[in-house]
Structure 1
Amino acid sequence: MENREEYKILNINSTQYKTKLSRKFENRTPFKPADPFMVKSFIPGTVVDILVKEGQELKHGDVVIILDAMKMQNRLKTHVDGCVKKINVKRGDKVTKGAVLLEMEKDISSASGESEGA
């Protein structure tokens, strides 16, 4: 005799499927979106160059760090406009996948610095 409570009904493209969910699936951690203000290493490697300084204003897509991995130099870019809050690495550091290399914050000083040089 089967226990109906163990089965779940999934509706995918108007088709119903009856399935059991594994204990591993039911106990998984929920998805957490990446923080766009954190520049992370997507692969283990060595920091070759840091192209920014703390406090520097950045635009979306600016290259901030060059990471050497698998005999290739990878250019890590920003995902948002902002200001460099903290640099967590230095040249020559070996980093793991997912390591936070650079932290950014929303730029709140851009309005005060635009009139300089006029």
Structure 2
Amino acid sequence: MEDKKLELVDFAVTARKYKTLLTIKYATRKPYKAPDPKEIKSYIPGTIIDIKVKPGAKVKEGQILLILEAMKMMNKVLMPFDGKIKNIHVSKGEKIPKNHLMIELE
């Protein structure tokens, strides 16, 4: 972990100005990145049981893309909108962490 210089930060509450020190955890937090609707990521860690689509396939909204086993439950990952599969980044039997990119859409 690299050393970060702590600095006072100004903020105002009902027209009064205050200064505070930010914690190291807050100062080094990962910045927010808006989710990309063309990327399907895992919402829970688990194992890929089956992949129902191939790259280049045209799929309809609600169609099953793959099955992810997590916590002894089979979770169907569905297509969020009509589109085309660009790339598949997982394989059958692979164990994946949370927020792992599984499928890219065109």
TM-score bracket relative to the smaller structure: 0.7 to 0.9
| Rg (Cα) greater in structure | 1
- Whose helix fraction is larger, Structure 1's or Structure 2's? 1
SS class of match (1:9): strand
Offset, 1:71: 0.6
Could you tell me which runs of 5 or more consecutive residues in structure 2 were left unpaired when the two chains were aligned. 1-6
**Change beyond 3 A, Cα 1:29–1:95:** closer
TM-score of the two chains, using structure 1 as the length reference: 0.67
**Change beyond 3 A, Cα 1:9–1:101:** same
The number of residues matched between the two structures is: 99
Could you tell me which runs of 5 or more consecutive residues in structure 1 were left unpaired when the two chains were aligned. 106-118
Distance, in Å, in 2 between the alignment partners of 1:71 and 1:29 is 31
SS class of match (2:32): coil
Root-mean-square deviation (CA), in Å?
Answer: 2.5
- CA deviations 1:12-46 (Å, max 9, x no partner) are xx686846232432343321011111111111111
Offset, 1:93: 1.4
**Change beyond 3 A, Cα 1:49–1:10:** farther
**Change beyond 3 A, Cα 1:97–1:17:** farther
- CA deviations 1:83-117 (Å, max 9, x no partner) are 10111222211112121111111xxxxxxxxxxxx
The residue that corresponds to 2:3 in the other structure is none
Distance, in Å, in 1 between the alignment partners of 2:89 and 2:79 is 15
The residue that corresponds to 1:48 in the other structure is 49
Distance, in Å, in 2 between the alignment partners of 1:85 and 1:22 is 42
Identity of aligned residues (%): 38
Most deviating of 35-44 and 55-64:
55-64
